[in-house]
Amino acid sequence: MTTSVIAALDIGGSKLAITLANANGPLIRLVQATRKSGTPDAIARQSIELLAVACQRMAIDFADVDHIGVSSCGPFDYHDGLLGLTPPNLCGGLAHYKNLPNDWTFIPLEFVLREHFTTIHIDNDCVAALRGELCFGAAQNESNAIYVTWSTGIGFGLCVDGHILRGKSGNAGHAGHMLMSEISEALCGCGNVGDLESLVGGRNLGLRLGKSLDKIFSSARSGDETALAIVHEAAQWFGRGLYNLIVTLDTQCVLVGGSVWRENEALLSALVQTEISNRFPALTKGVRIQSALLGELVTDIGALAAVMPEAWVTDWRLRQPWQLLKSEFIA
Ligand SMILES: [Zn+2]
């Protein structure tokens, strides 16, 4: 049977998106606030419901869609051989921030998706983003690449010798939680003090400084010395995290995405590059730090790429059909 329509599901801490695509490109993308109450399978059930709505809108028989790529916030875990989610920002039973109306400790994602789909591929969101950039973005001919997002949190996708790393539970790339310095006030949502995300993740940094990152970066851009010092320190920590991974994995290029980077690339780029290029030239010479190309749809495109027939890829590279995709918010 040939695959005619595939689906992508993108699960984030605040929003959930589903996309349907055929050989010509993405057809529809529906977005809804991520459900955070009810039984532990609420998010998986919501995903199926939203997919059914999208199919109805496009006059597609839901039964004909049997491939789904998932991009989700992690970490993941296996229960009875099926992959599910254990993110502290969705599971009230694991949360370090006490603001969730549930006591979940595990979200049974694959278990629910198996009721409908035969082909399921679940990636961490940064791994999906890396897959998107390798397939359609800034790293199309690279075998040794890192994707990193610098936004509310810090996450990575790692590709070595052409293999995207997954690890024993699909959690490879959670290097935002690598320990950097146990300075007392930098606390991460994972419970660590002084890991990379606690030091420079948008949420943690803003909380620690008691002001929004937007304000800090705009003050830095207009030359405020205190703000500039904060930005320099953040870029140093971020660059050191990248350096540690580059020398561990022998990486050729690092693709950076995420809102903090996108909005402040002009300020951050040279600072981060310096943290890498100034160290151990035999391992860092020629390593490129560059912005990811696919923007806000990078995880959706990566999730589609994971289950897409090979025959679609060349044509999508030429036409970049995702550029035409409009998202619609469903209340
Ligand atoms: Zn952490």
Give the pLDDT score at 183: 76
Same domain, 199 and 312: no
| CA 189 to ligand 1 centroid distance, Å | 6
Instruction: Yes or no: say if 12 and 22 are a contact pair by the CB < 8 Å rule.
Output: no
Same domain, 114 and 192: no
Same domain, 144 and 205: yes
* Residue of 129, 109, 130, 131 whose CA lies nearest to 120: 109
Query: For residue 98, what pLDDT band results from cuts at 50, 70 and 90?
Result: low
Residues 6+ apart with CB under 8 A from 132: 294, 298, 299, 300, 301, 302, 303, 305
pLDDT over threshold 90, residue 91: yes
89 against 79, higher pLDDT: 79
What is the domain count for the chain? 2
Mean pLDDT across 71-81:
97
Same domain, 119 and 152: no
Compute CA distances 28 → 20, 66, 311, 327, whole Å.
6, 17, 21, 7
Phi first, then psi: give them for residue 183, nearest 5 degrees: -70, 145
Same domain, 55 and 142: no
Mean pLDDT across 77-106:
90
**Percentage of the chain lying above the pLDDT 90 cut:** 89
Q: Residue 242 falls within a domain, yes or no?
A: yes
Mean pLDDT across 226-250:
96
244 against 189, higher pLDDT: 244
pLDDT over threshold 70, residue 79: yes
Q: Residue 206 falls within a domain, yes or no?
A: yes
Give the pLDDT score at 99: 78
| CA 214 to ligand 1 centroid distance, Å | 22
Which residue(s) pair with 123 in the sheet? 71
Give the pLDDT score at 251: 98
Instruction: Yes or no: say if 327 and 21 are a contact pair by the CB < 8 Å rule.
Output: no
Same domain, 96 and 25: yes
Give the pLDDT score at 97: 63
Tell me the three state secondary structure of residue 9.
Answer: strand
Give the pLDDT score at 146: 98
Phi first, then psi: give them for residue 120, nearest 5 degrees: -130, 130
Mean pLDDT for the chain?
95
Same domain, 73 and 152: no
* Residue of 75, 141, 137 whose CA lies nearest to 107: 75
Q: Residue 236 falls within a domain, yes or no?
A: yes
| CA 291 to ligand 1 centroid distance, Å | 24
pLDDT in tens, 28-69: 999 999 999 999 999 999 999 999 999 999 999 999 999 999
| CA 275 to ligand 1 centroid distance, Å | 22
pLDDT in tens, 273-288: 999 999 999 999 999 9
Give the pLDDT score at 19: 98
- 323-310-124 Cα angle (round to 5): 65
Same domain, 156 and 246: yes
Euclidean distance between CA atoms 300 and 17, whole angstroms: 8
pLDDT in tens, 149-196: 999 999 999 999 999 999 999 999 999 999 999 877 888 888 899 999
| CA 175 to ligand 1 centroid distance, Å | 9
Euclidean distance between CA atoms 216 and 223, whole angstroms: 11
Q: Residue 133 falls within a domain, yes or no?
A: no
Instruction: Yes or no: say if 159 and 134 are a contact pair by the CB < 8 Å rule.
Output: yes
| CA 194 to ligand 1 centroid distance, Å | 8
Give strand ranges (E) for the chain: 6-11, 15-22, 25-33, 67-72, 76-79, 82-85, 119-124, 145-150, 154-160, 163-164, 253-257, 288-291, 327-329
Same domain, 268 and 320: no
What CATH number is given to the structural domain containing 263? 3.30.420.40
Q: Residue 131 falls within a domain, yes or no?
A: no
Range of the domain at 302: 6-125+296-329
| CA 188 to ligand 1 centroid distance, Å | 4
Same domain, 307 and 216: no
| CA 61 to ligand 1 centroid distance, Å | 42
pLDDT over threshold 80, residue 124: yes
Give the pLDDT score at 96: 67
Give the pLDDT score at 269: 96
| CA 198 to ligand 1 centroid distance, Å | 6
pLDDT in tens, 144-158: 999 999 999 999 999
| CA 190 to ligand 1 centroid distance, Å | 4
Give the pLDDT score at 208: 84
pLDDT in tens, 190-228: 889 999 999 999 988 888 888 888 999 999 999 999 999
Q: Residue 99 falls within a domain, yes or no?
A: yes
Residues 6+ apart with CB under 8 A from 5: 20, 21, 22, 27, 60, 64, 65
Q: Residue 39 falls within a domain, yes or no?
A: yes
Same domain, 256 and 207: yes
Give the pLDDT score at 304: 98
Q: Residue 132 falls within a domain, yes or no?
A: no
Query: For residue 1, what pLDDT band results from cuts at 50, 70 and 90?
Result: low
Q: Is the peptide bond before 101 cis (omega within 30 degrees of 0)?
A: no
Same domain, 281 and 171: yes
Tell me the three state secondary structure of residue 185.
Answer: coil
* Residue of 81, 251, 64 whose CA lies nearest to 157: 251
